[in-house]
């Protein structure tokens, strides 16, 4: 076959004076700018869609955070009870507790006062415990029942009647329950 006969088969007209390599260059020179134009339009459309979409709303505190915050507050306050503020501390624990802790603490009040009076008599002054919760972690949670076990680390000092302070650390395991939308502690255990 002659070149003129092959021309239509390979896409080059027989009477085309431009060689085939020039056609390939022309196609590439059109393909690259068209591809870039399509990418530019796609990028512009994406930018516009991001600009008009609603802003994401920050998530509220996870539901477990309220249990952790309550546990830290309760643990810290529990470790700061003293004979001088016992009545206020006792009322606070009674309002913040439920179940086993509430019943035990109510029954234990008179014994606790008696013990404090004996300590003041024997030691010529009270032993003062001052502490604060330093960390809390969730051991378990049952969302259906609204109960969680919260581990609370408390760091503090015991100061005896002559003023000697002894550093102390405690780990408390609190059972925290949600009752009528309010968190309360139903059990306190010292964990070693």
The residue count of the chain comes to: 192
CA separation (Å) from 101 to 39, 64, 107, 170, 192? 67, 22, 10, 18, 20
Same domain assignment for residues 94 and 46: no
Q: What pLDDT does 122 receive?
A: 43
pTM for this prediction: 0.60
Domain termination residue (choose one: 14, 33, 52): 52
Span 143-151, mean pLDDT?
90
46 in a domain, yes or no?
yes
90 in a domain, yes or no?
yes
Task: Report how many domains make up the chain.
Answer: 2
Instruction: Work out the pLDDT band at 18, boundaries 50, 70, 90.
Output: low
Contact 165, 157 (CB under 8 A): yes
- Give the C-alpha separation, 87 to 139, whole Å: 32
Span 157-162, mean pLDDT?
72
Span 7-22, mean pLDDT?
56
Contact 104, 175 (CB under 8 A): no
Token pair, residue 126, equals: 């009270």
29 in a domain, yes or no?
yes
Q: Which domain holds residue 18?
A: 3-52
Residue % of the chain over a pLDDT of 70 = 76
Same domain assignment for residues 27 and 122: no
Same domain assignment for residues 107 and 152: yes
Same domain assignment for residues 187 and 114: yes
pLDDT over 70 at 181, yes or no: yes
Same domain assignment for residues 89 and 154: yes
Same domain assignment for residues 31 and 107: no
Phi, psi (deg, nearest 5) at residue 175: -100, 115
58 in a domain, yes or no?
no
Same domain assignment for residues 101 and 32: no
Name the residue with higher pLDDT: 61 or 146: 146
Same domain assignment for residues 181 and 136: yes
pLDDT over 80 at 102, yes or no: yes
Specify the CATH number for the domain of residue 98.
3.10.450.230
Same domain assignment for residues 148 and 127: yes
Q: What pLDDT does 123 receive?
A: 43
Same domain assignment for residues 36 and 96: no
Same domain assignment for residues 115 and 153: yes
Same domain assignment for residues 80 and 164: yes
């Amino acid at each position: 076959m002659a070149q003129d006969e092959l021309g239509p088969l390979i896409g080059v007209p027989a009477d085309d004076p431009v060689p085939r390599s020039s056609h390939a260059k022309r196609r590439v020179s059109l393909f690259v700018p068209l591809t870039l134009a399509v990418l530019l339009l796609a990028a512009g459309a994406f930018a516009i869609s991001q600009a008009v979409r609603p802003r994401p709303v920050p998530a509220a505190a996870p539901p477990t955070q309220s249990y952790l915050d309550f546990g830290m507050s309760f643990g810290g306050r529990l470790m700061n009870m003293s004979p001088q503020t016992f009545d206020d501390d006792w009322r606070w624990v009674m309002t913040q507790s439920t179940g086993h802790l509430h019943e035990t603490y109510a029954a234990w009040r008179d014994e606790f006062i008696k013990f404090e009076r004996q300590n003041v008599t024997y030691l010529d002054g009270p032993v003062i415990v001052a502490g604060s919760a330093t960390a809390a972690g969730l051991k378990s949670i049952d969302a259906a029942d609204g109960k969680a076990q919260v581990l609370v680390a408390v760091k503090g000092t015991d100061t005896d009647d002559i003023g000697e302070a002894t550093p102390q650390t405690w780990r408390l395991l609190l059972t925290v329950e949600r009752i009528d939308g309010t968190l309360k502690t139903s059990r306190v255990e010292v964990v070693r």
